[in-house]
């Protein structure tokens, strides 16, 4: 029996929906561009035609490909996926979100060009939305399927203005509510977000200037309490993301697990991280560890937090857990988009592993980690010095 995409909804309803035009399909007569992943393209297109016929293992293949493939790039722009903020069924959101990912990725594979294609992504989500909407009076009659923002986007597309709308909306970002809507504009909450960010930045400055206790009582506890009040009783899994790639990972991962989740900005997690930093300065290590664990619970794939956790394990001389934490940090650096930040976090994670491996007595593996770090950054003096130290230990063993 097939495990369908709509298992996310708790509904077994296999068998395709109505025929749908493929998002981003090439024009008639055009010569198809060669693709690197023809089997994946076929799977993506099949999802866009009939999401309910997709098996669970195939759904995971799609999500893994979108997140990990070096041959495509997909960003989740709030303008393109406004339905994520609406009061509709969380499972519906997840299935439509994968439609956005599939449409975007399929268009890039057909074109043979690695370039985020927001229009094709929205075409994909609208295709899936229409299939689900057709089921809203039958298999999904007990679910909130109808999305005002997606209905508005369908109207825009019907007028042939989808690409122009998305381009102008992105250009007007920050000027107000840019999502198509039949209702009045709603508050964006940007003022509150800016205030939280100001408090966290100010707290870090207080810590660095020698006032960690003030940073906690004046700033960080206030930020944390505000978020806890805002999301009290929310049954969704709340993630804090530091970039679009991190958002994508959390949302796809939640979709694969059938979990109701949202990704907000990083300030809640950052407040816990800076509090951990301040508590470490106050030599309150147990509390610092607890605060950092709360930051990681909100941002489980943020490399910087994971390396900080590895550092605290180092202080406790817990080498196996330090090694595991630095390994997790290395696996997460791919979600960082800034190249310099990615290199810095990658080399830090490698150095952390090297240090733990020395303490665990695996000198060959430690040397390899330091060599990998130097390959990424030849000017990494710490790795160079540690590698010489490891070589010296190796020579004494012979």
Same domain, 116 and 202: no
Residues 155-187 have pLDDT tens digits of 888 888 888 878 866 665 443 333 333 322 222
Residue 190 pLDDT > 80, yes or no?
A: no
Same domain, 212 and 107: no
Element (H, E) at 301: none
Q: How confident is the model at residue 281 (pLDDT cuts 50, 70, 90)?
A: very high
Mean pLDDT for the stretch of residues 339-358: 94
107 and 43 assigned to the same domain = yes
Q: For the segment 255-265, what is each residue's pLDDT rounded down to a tens digit?
A: 777 778 888 88
How large a percentage of the chain has pLDDT more than 90? 50
What pLDDT is recorded for position 17?
A: 36
For residues 96 and 227, membership in a common domain is answered with no
Q: Are residues 243 and 315 in the same domain?
A: yes
Q: Quote the pLDDT of residue 117.
A: 92
340 pLDDT exceeds 60?
Answer: yes
User: Whose CA is closest to 45, among 139, 112, 133, 128?
Assistant: 128
Q: What is the pLDDT of residues 238-256, one digit of tens each?
A: 999 887 678 778 877 777 7
When pLDDT is averaged across residues 67-86 and rounded to a whole number, the result is 83
Does 257 lie in the same domain as 158? no
Q: What is the pLDDT of residue 147?
A: 86
- Would you say 291 and 268 are in contact if contact means Cβ atoms under 8 Å apart? no
Does one domain contain both 167 and 195? no
Residues 131 and 252 in one domain: no
Query: Is 177 part of any domain?
Result: no
Position 1 scores a pLDDT of 27
Confidence of residue 91 (pLDDT cuts 50, 70, 90): confident
pLDDT attached to residue 310 = 96
- Structural domain of residue 275, as residue ranges? 190-397
The CATH number given to whatever domain includes residue 349 is 1.25.40.10
Q: Give me the residues paired with residue 264 across strands.
A: 240
Instruction: Indicate whether 266 and 373 sit together in one domain.
Output: yes
Residue 282 has pLDDT above 90, yes or no: yes
Number of domains in the chain: 2
Do residues 70 and 145 both lie within one domain? yes
Single out the residue of 358, 268, 350 nearest to residue 306, CA to CA. 350
**Long-range CB pairs of 81-85, under 8 A, 24+ apart, other chains included:** 81/125, 82/149, 82/150, 82/153, 82/179, 82/180, 83/125, 83/129, 83/147, 83/149, 83/150, 84/251, 84/262
What whole-number distance in Å separates Cα of residue 120 and Cα of residue 125? 9
Helix, strand, or coil (residue 17): coil
- Looking at the fold, whether 195 and 92 belong to one and the same domain comes out as no
131 and 261 co-located in one domain: no
């Amino acid at each position: 029996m097939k495990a369908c995409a709509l298992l996310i909804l708790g509904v077994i309803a296999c068998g395709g929906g109505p025929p749908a035009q493929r998002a981003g399909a090439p024009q008639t007569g055009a010569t198809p561009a060669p693709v690197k992943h023809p089997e994946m393209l076929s799977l993506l297109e099949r999802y866009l035609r009939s999401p309910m016929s997709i098996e669970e293992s195939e759904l995971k293949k799609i999500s893994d490909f979108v997140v990990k493939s070096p041959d495509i790039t997909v960003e989740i722009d709030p303008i393109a996926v406004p339905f994520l903020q609406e009061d509709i069924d969380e499972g519906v959101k997840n299935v439509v979100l994968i439609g956005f990912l599939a449409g975007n990725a399929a268009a890039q594979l057909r074109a043979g060009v690695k370039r985020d294609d927001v229009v094709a992504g929205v075409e994909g989500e609208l295709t899936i939305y229409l299939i689900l909407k057709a089921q809203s009076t039958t298999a999904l009659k007990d679910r909130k399927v109808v999305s005002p923002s997606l209905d508005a986007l369908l109207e825009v597309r019907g007028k042939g203005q989808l690409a122009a709308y998305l381009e102008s909306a992105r250009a007007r970002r920050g000027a107000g509510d840019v999502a198509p809507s039949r209702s009045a504009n709603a508050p964006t909450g940007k003022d509150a977000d800016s205030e939280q960010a100001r408090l966290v930045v100010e707290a870090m400055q207080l810590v660095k200037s020698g006032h960690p206790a003030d940073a906690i009582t004046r700033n960080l506890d206030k930020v944390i309490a505000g978020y806890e009040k805002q999301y009290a009783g929310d049954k969704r899994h709340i993630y804090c993301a530091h970039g679009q790639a991190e958002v994508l990972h959390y949302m796809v991962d939640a979709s694969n697990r059938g979990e109701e989740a949202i990704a907000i900005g990083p300030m809640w997690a950052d407040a816990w991280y800076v509090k951990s930093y301040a508590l470490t300065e106050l030599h309150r290590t147990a509390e610092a560890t607890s605060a950092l664990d709360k930051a990681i619970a909100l941002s489980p794939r943020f490399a910087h937090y994971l390396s900080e956790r590895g550092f605290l394990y180092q202080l406790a001389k817990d080498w196996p857990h330090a090694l595991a934490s630095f390994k997790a940090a290395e696996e997460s650096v791919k979600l960082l988009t800034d190249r310099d930040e990615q290199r810095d976090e990658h080399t830090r994670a490698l150095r952390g592993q090297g240090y733990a491996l020395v303490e665990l007595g695996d000198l060959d593996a430690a040397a390899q980690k330091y060599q990998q770090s130097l390959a990424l950054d030849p000017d990494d003096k710490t790795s160079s010095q540690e590698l010489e130290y490891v070589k010296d230990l190796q020579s004494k063993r012979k």
